[in-house]
A and B are shown apart, each in its own frame.
Chain A
C-alpha cells in the first residue's frame, strides 16, 4: 500500500465550480498534514496546513479525519489560475515529509 494515496485525475472543471480532492495515508503515527501546490514545470509550494479541527483560507478548505486517516481539500469558485497539481503531504519521523503523487486540476472556461 502506498504511504500517501491520491486520485491522479485530471479533474476538469468549469470556472466557478466547487471541486474536492481526497487523500489517504497509511502511517497512523503521522502528526502533521499539508497540501502543496505544484504548477506545471515548477517547484512545489506550500498551500496550507491541515488541522484536526479543519481550516479555511479564502476559497480553500482543508479537513482531516484521523480515525479514517483521510485528508481533503475543497476549492470553491474555481479560477483558471487554480489549475495545477495538488500534493497531499504527511509527516514521518524526523524531518521527513511523505508526498502523494498529486491530483491534477484543470479549470476551464
Chain B
C-alpha cells in the first residue's frame, strides 16, 4: 500500500545527532499527525496539522520539531534525543472533515544510543 509512506523505516542515532523523519500521503487528505508508540504503552499523539497549520501540540519536548510544508508532506526533525525517545514513530493522515478516519504509515523504528 502506498497511501501513507514514511522514510526511513529504521533509524539509529546518537544523542548528539540531528536527523529528520519524513512522511508523505497520497490520499488527498488535509490533516496529518505524528504519533509515538513505545513498548507496552498506548499510541501517544504528538502533533496535529490541519490545512498545514499546527492545531495541537501535546506538550512534546522541544527536541522534537515538526514541519508541514504542504498538505502532502510532514517532517519530524530530531535533535539531542534521549534513549527513552526510542520508539516507533507513526505518521497518519485524515480528511479534514473526517478527522477520526485516520490512515497510518508503516512507521519509523527509532533507536537512540
Question: Interface on A for B, CB 8 Å cutoff?
Answer: 2, 4, 8, 32, 34, 42-46, 87, 91, 94-102
B6 to chain A, nearest CB (A): 9
Task: Write the residues of chain B forming the contact surface with A, with a CB cutoff of 8 angstroms.
Answer: 31, 33, 40-43, 45, 48, 50, 55-56, 90, 94, 99-107
Residues of A contacting B55 with CB < 8 Å? Answer: 94-95
Choose among A32, A87, A94 the residue that contacts B56 (Cβ–Cβ < 8 A): A94
**B56 x A43 contact (CB < 8 A):** no
CB distance from B10 to the nearest CB of A (A): 11
Q: With A94-B55, A94-B56 as given contacts, are A99 and B43 in contact (CB-CB < 8 Å)?
A: yes
Is B106 within 8 A of A96, CB to CB? no
- Contacts across chains A and B counted by CB atoms under 8 Å: 49
Contact yes or no, B94 A43, CB < 8 A = no
B residues in contact with A99, CB < 8 Å: 42-43
Min C-beta distance of A84 to chain B, whole Å: 14
Nearest CB on B from A102, distance (A)? 8
Q: Are B102 and A97 in contact (CB under 8 A)?
A: yes
- Residues on A with beta carbons closer than 8 Å to the beta carbon of B41: 101
Give bound CA distance, A99 to B94, whole Å. 16
